[in-house]
Structure formats: structure tokens, C-alpha cells
Amino acid sequence: MKVSIHDHCCGGERVPPELLAEIIKAAEVIDVRAERGAAPQIRRQFMASLREDGWSGEITVSRDSDVTITSMRKKVGLCLQTGNMARMYADLIKLQTLYLDNAIEAAVIVLPSQPLALAIGSNIAQSARLERELEIYRKAYNVPTLLLGLE
């Protein structure tokens, strides 16, 4: 899949280029037909590629909690969101918490573009909406972030 990139709060300056390259490569090797129910396959292929490059599995936000983000590497938190639109906002809170706790220095959020989201399900998180809304929430969510839209 191709990706589009949106920069929030200087994420492009804080996400190391080699990590961004690994994430883009993981997105580009996804070979899944864009249809209803494809989200789990997209997730599996994306994460398999990232793990080959040394990215972690799920990371807990708090020691006494089951709340997690998708992955982390070299103080960059990563959330892959292929589910319901409401989960996208939960990811923002998780990443902001990790940032304020100095566990991460930057973040990458990967989610479908609008056409892909419409193809794989209903009410699926999508990059165009998050791009618009990150400006609204700039004071509440100030983590240096790159938003990658899967196309």
C-alpha cells in the first residue's frame, strides 16, 4: 500500500528517518485486498514487517493497566488503528500520556485513508478526519507526531 504523511507538532523533525523508513516499508509490503473484513490481515502483515526490524509488540501505558499502544522503538510510540473511529481518540490519549511520562519523544499513527476505510468496514478510523481534528486538539495533544494514511 502507498502512504500519505501528515506532520503534527514537528513530528517530522522528531521521528528518526530510519524509523520512518521502516514504517513506510511495512505499509508498502501490505498485500491485502481492500474489502470488508480485511483489517486483521492488514494489521498482521504490517506488524510482521515491523517486528523484523526490531519494533516491539504491544506496550502498556501504565504498569497496572491493560491499556496498550501497538508498538514502540527508540522512544517512538506507534499506534496502528484499523478499527472503529472512537478508538482513534483513545490512541491520542495513550500517546499523550506516554509523552508526558517521558516514555516516548515522538509518535506515529497509522490508519486507513478515507477510501480504504470505507472499503474495509463502516465507521473505521481514517487519516483525513484525524488530520483535520489534530488541529482542533493541538493544545490537548501536542506530541510530535507523524500521521500515515494507508492508501
Which residues sit opposite 124 in a β-bridge? 84
pLDDT for residue 109: 98
Split the chain (151 residues) into runs of 10 and give each run's mean pLDDT: 96 98 97 94 97 97 94 98 93 97 98 96 94 94 98 92
- Whole-angstrom distance, CA of residue 65 vs CA of residue 91: 15
73/62 Cα distance (integer angstroms): 17
Rounded CA separation 43/129 (Å): 20
Computed on alpha carbons and rounded to an integer, the radius of gyration of the chain in Å comes to 14
Q: What is the pLDDT, as a whole number, of residue 11? A: 98
d(CA 97, CA 60): 11
Task: Determine the pLDDT at residue 100.
Answer: 97
Beta bridge partners of 149: 4, 111
> Which pTM does this prediction carry?
0.96
Give the per-residue pLDDT at 143. 98
